[in-house]
Each structure stands twice: as C-alpha cells, then as structure tokens.
Chains A and B, each alone.
Chain A
Amino acid sequence: MMERERALRLLRERIVGFAASHLSRDAAEDIAQEVLVVLEEKYAHVSAAGELAPLAIRIARFKVLGVRRKAARRGEYGQVSVEDVPLPDTRHDPYAALERREMLDRLKSALAKTGERCRELFRLKLQGKTFAEIQAAMGVKALNTIYTWDHRCRKHMLELLGGTWEGRR
C-alpha cells in the first residue's frame, strides 16, 4: 500500500510537470487531479508502480488532448466559425482515422530514410521479439549493444519526424 501511495504521489508530480508544458499551471493541476481520481476509482487494485505509470500516462494524455480540443472549440486558440466546429460523432471517427493514417505514412517515410540496421531492428520489434531475441537474431554479443542501437534508431526517427511522432498540431 505504501508503494501505491508513493507511486501516486510521484505520478502526480510527473503529470503536473508534463501537463504544465502544454497547458497552464492550473489546468495542469486539474489534469493531475483528474488522473488520480480515475486511478483511484477504476484501478484501485493496481499497486505496482510499473503498472500504474503506463495507466497514468494514457489517462493524462487523453485528458490533455481533451482540454486542448475543448479550448479549441471555445475559441481559446482563435476564433472559429460555429459551422466549422465538428459535431461529436459517436460512430467511427474519420478525423482520428485520418490522423492515424497520416502518422503511419510519416512513420513509413521516416523508416525508409533510416539505415539498414535500424529498419531491421524495427522489423524485428514489429514481429514482437524482445530485445534479447533481437540480440540473438542479429547475432550481437551484448544486449546493451541492442539497447544502444535501438535508442539511436528512435532518436534518428524522431529527428526525421520533426521531434514528434504525431506531427505538428
């Protein structure tokens, strides 16, 4: 129980730190509070930090996106005509699908520009192989080498994509 409390305390700090870089300090505090509420209400049984953290990250990201979309609808980032504001659609979201397709295309384009080793690493990762299995598949002596190669590959791809996987919003 102590571990969960410690994890939630640390998560709150991290979420505020992340959200504050995108939103106002107050909004960031609000988001952190909302994330903790969700974790408390829906994921009370999860106590390990390694499980709580990814949950918190996903919730925090959705919350930040929600706040930004809401702000856009309110015209906080610029005046938008009422006719241009999309109505919520509970069915398949074509906008999200388009975003997804664009992101996929950008990713494929970036992968095509990377080196042979990076593409091979990415291919093996997509096959679901762990780092240890990738090490064996690539015939590398040390696991740390694979970690390093993957880290460089990720960094290079982010550079090719302009610093973000999603593209500029």
Chain B
Amino acid sequence: LKRSDVERLLGGYSAGILTDEERRMLFEAALEDQALFTELVRDEPLRELLSDPSVRAELRSALTPSAEVERGWLWWRFAAAGLLSAAFGIALLLVWRVQPEMRLEMAKLQAPAAPALAYEQPLPAPARSENLRRDAPPPRAGVAAGLVERRRTTAGDAAGVPGSAAGEAAKARPAAPEFAFRSRAPQAPLTLERRPASESMALEPPSAAPTTSARRRATSALVRFTSEARARERFYSAEESGIRYALMLRQPDGTFAEIPTGSVVAGAAEVRLAIEPNAAGLLRVLDERGTVIFERAAGARQRYFVDMPPDRRSLEISFASGAAEPEELTTEVVATPAENAVYVVNPGGSGVQVVVPIRRSPAPAEP
C-alpha cells in the first residue's frame, strides 16, 4: 500500500479490523497529514458505535438476509419464471389461433415439384400388370387418389352452358371412347391400351405445375395447404375474393370428372373448365388470342363450365368481384394435394386472373 493510498484503510479503522501493520501505517500517515487526521477524528463516532457488540450484531442481522427472505426471493423467482413461461405459451397460442396459416406448411411452389405430391401413391398392381405394355417405373397414381371429389355432369349439362361449343359435339361422341395417354417420364413412357372405363385415364405426373400467370409472378406468395379442409375454409370464408377452378375430362360414360390441372390429355379428349367464384362478380374466360369465349355475371358459389376448344392451348380466367376490375395478378394460389381443383384467392384484392394451360398429346398409333 502506498503512502498516498493509506486513506483507503480508514474504513478498517472504524470497523476495528486493521492489522498491526495497517494500523501503524495509517496513524504514521495521519501524523503527517492533517486531512487524514481530521478524517480519523470524524470516523471516531462510528468506531465507537461499532465497538459495541450489540450494535454489530444488530447491523449484521440487518445485513444478512433471513432464511424467510431468501425463501421468499426463491419463490418469487420461480413464480416469475412460471409466469414468463405461461405468458410465452399464451402468446404462442394466440399466434396459433389468429394466424391459422402458420399451421400450414409454407412452401414455395416451384413449378416441377409442387403438383407431384398428388401422384405419390402407385397404382394398384393388378391394374398396371393388365394395362402396361412394357416395363416401366410405377406410374404415380393420380386418378384414383386425386379425383376425390368428382362433380359429375352430363353432356347435356355441358351443352347448356353458354359458349359451350363442344357440348353439342359431346352428344355425338361414342359412349366408350378409348383414351391413350403417355407418361412424360423421360426414360419410361407409359402407354395404356384398351382398358376398363374406370381406368381410362392415365395422367402423367405433370412435369410442370399448372402454369398460371399468378404463379409465375407471385411465386413467393404461394401458400400450400396441407389440409384440404383448411383450403376450403379459407376460400369459402369469402373474405378474399377468388375462384376455384378445375379441369374436367369426359369419361367413357359421358360424364365429366375433375383431373389434376397439370395433366396431359389426349389430343381429341374433351376437356372442360369448371369455375366457381366465391363471390358475385363478373366472370370471363378468354382464349389465348384474347377472344372472350365466356362471360357472365356470376353468382357466389355457383359453378360454371366452359368447354375448351380443342385447338386452344390455354384459357385465361378473369374474375372481378362486384363491379371492380380484376387485380393484376396479385393473387395467392392455394392448392390442395387431395383435390384436383386449384383455389386462387386475392388477399385484399377484388378479383383474380389466372391462365390455365391445356396439355394435349397426339393420339397414339394403334399397334
């Protein structure tokens, strides 16, 4: 301890804890230093007070937290931790309930990958063995698993739809046409021959998602629902204007059934577009040349059918809720794996525009 630092011993003097050496240093210094001496005299009352054992005991007890206080603090700490945990849990629950989308799998629907989820299950083995001409990797099932909800319509229904030019032609079509579709799997094309009516469609796993302008432009906004019920709930809540659309393929019995939107159909197959807005508004369908082939003041939750001209490769659906013009493709696409339809809603917008491609393959040559 330096001479100049001896004053730091003052606190030890009043408490009576200085060693002989420290004490000697302090008082030697105090004899030479008036300020230090004065400080020592100022501390004398404290030294006197602390020299009383009862006072020391009282101060010690005041400075020593009692066991009860310790227990109290411990309890408060546990309580605080519990409260924090509970608050965190409640906050999580609130977020969970307020934003149901958080429960949904958020995924960017990259074109090749997304619709493939609907084709994960293989076809039943007997059906493949009967119909496959040659060995091929198990085609991905789509028809049986995918067509969960078929809306069966008759050719007459289709003919009644305004603008349905193909409807009349459908009446004249043979009752049990043969369909031959080919898989687009690179090394294993899949060709089906005379098959029962129930298996008359073999849809290739679409290598590309239903290419819509909305998807191209707003890929990052796509939300894929893992729950079909959740998708429907959101769509039919009608808080966001939108449409449900699906491709329908004429079946051998003359009815139409929904197929996945990325499917490749035979060149001559009759395809129909089913559109259902969730709100009243103006519904239009335009071909790729911009010609309006269907236009109607649509009612909410009414389903409309538009026969697709065989020479068209895509149709554009334009729906404007109320009297507003459709939004410029700021849409969110909601797809469900268990259903062949696509739900398109526009959060905060007044309408949607979607381009639906039709993929037709040339009819296979008869063996």
- Chain A residues in the interface with B (C-beta under 8 A): 7, 10-11, 13-14, 17-18, 21, 48-50, 52-54, 57-58, 60-61, 100, 103-104, 107-108, 111-112, 119-120, 122-123, 125-132, 144, 147-148, 150-151, 153-154, 164-166
Least distance between B7 CB and chain A CB atoms (Å): 7
Q: A111-B63, A122-B63, A125-B15 are contacts. A14–B31 as well, Cβ < 8 Å? A: yes
Q: A50-B24, A50-B27, A130-B19 are contacts. A151–B10 as well, Cβ < 8 Å? A: yes
Distance of A125 Cα from B59 Cα, bound (Å): 11
Q: Of B19, B38, B45, which is within 8 A of A103 by CB?
A: B45
Taking a contact as CB atoms under 8 Å apart, the answer to whether A57 and B41 are in contact is yes
> Is B22 on the interface with A (CB-CB < 8 A)?
yes
Return the chain A residue nearest B38 by Cβ: A18
Q: Which residues of B contact A18 (CB under 8 A)?
A: 34, 37-38, 41
> Is B93 on the interface with A (CB-CB < 8 A)?
no
A-B interface, 5 closest residue pairs, ranked by CB to CB distance from nearest: A53-B27, A147-B8, A125-B15, A50-B24, A151-B8
Count the B residues whose beta carbon is within 8 Å of the partner chain — how many? 44
> Is B269 on the interface with A (CB-CB < 8 A)?
no
Instruction: Identify 8 new A-B residue pairs, CB closer than 8 A, beyond the known A126-B50, A126-B59.
Output: A18-B38, A100-B55, A103-B45, A103-B49, A111-B59, A122-B59, A130-B17, A131-B17
23 pairs, A vs B, C-beta closer than 8 Å: A10-B31, A17-B34, A18-B34, A18-B38, A50-B20, A52-B27, A103-B49, A104-B55, A108-B62, A111-B62, A119-B63, A122-B59, A126-B56, A126-B60, A130-B12, A147-B8, A151-B7, A153-B11, A154-B10, A154-B14, A165-B42, A165-B45, A165-B49
Distance of A54 Cα from B26 Cα, bound (Å): 10
Chain B contact residues, majority secondary structure? helix
Q: Which residues of A contact B40 (CB under 8 A)?
A: 53-54, 57
Distance of A166 Cα from B15 Cα, bound (Å): 16
Return the chain B residue nearest A14 by Cβ: B37
Q: Which residues of A contact B9 (CB under 8 A)?
A: 147
> Is B1 on the interface with A (CB-CB < 8 A)?
yes
Docked complex: B51-71 residues within 8 A CB-CB of A: 55-56, 58-60, 62-64
> Is B105 on the interface with A (CB-CB < 8 A)?
no
Distance of A131 Cα from B11 Cα, bound (Å): 10
Q: A107-B49, A126-B50 are contacts. A58–B11 as well, Cβ < 8 Å? A: no
Q: A18-B38, A165-B46 are contacts. A104–B58 as well, Cβ < 8 Å? A: yes
Least distance between B72 CB and chain A CB atoms (Å): 17
Q: Which residues of B contact A151 (CB under 8 A)?
A: 7-8, 10-11
Distance of A5 Cα from B299 Cα, bound (Å): 118
Q: Which residues of B contact A60 (CB under 8 A)?
A: 41
Taking a contact as CB atoms under 8 Å apart, the answer to whether A147 and B17 are in contact is no
Least distance between A25 CB and chain B CB atoms (Å): 15
Q: Which residues of B contact A125 (CB under 8 A)?
A: 11-12, 15, 17
Once A and B bind, how many residue pairs between them come within 8 Å at the CB atom?
A: 120
Distance of A8 Cα from B17 Cα, bound (Å): 25
Taking a contact as CB atoms under 8 Å apart, the answer to whether B27 and A150 are in contact is no
Least distance between A27 CB and chain B CB atoms (Å): 16
Least distance between B5 CB and chain A CB atoms (Å): 7
Q: A50-B23, A147-B8, A165-B45 are contacts. A17–B60 as well, Cβ < 8 Å? A: no
Distance of A122 Cα from B28 Cα, bound (Å): 25
> Is B44 on the interface with A (CB-CB < 8 A)?
yes
Least distance between A150 CB and chain B CB atoms (Å): 4
> Is B43 on the interface with A (CB-CB < 8 A)?
yes
Taking a contact as CB atoms under 8 Å apart, the answer to whether B5 and A147 are in contact is yes
Most chain A CB within a 10 A radius of its CB, from B19, B26, B46 = B46
Taking a contact as CB atoms under 8 Å apart, the answer to whether A129 and B30 are in contact is no
> Is B366 on the interface with A (CB-CB < 8 A)?
no
Q: A57-B44, A107-B59 are contacts. A147–B1 as well, Cβ < 8 Å? A: yes
Taking a contact as CB atoms under 8 Å apart, the answer to whether B49 and A104 are in contact is yes
> Is B135 on the interface with A (CB-CB < 8 A)?
no
Taking a contact as CB atoms under 8 Å apart, the answer to whether B38 and A17 are in contact is yes
Q: A57-B40, A60-B41, A151-B8 are contacts. A49–B17 as well, Cβ < 8 Å? A: no
Least distance between A68 CB and chain B CB atoms (Å): 14
- Fill in one digit per residue for B228-240: 1 if any A CB lies within 8 Å of its CB, else 0: 0000000000000
> Is B32 on the interface with A (CB-CB < 8 A)?
yes
Q: Which residues of A contact B10 (CB under 8 A)?
A: 151, 154
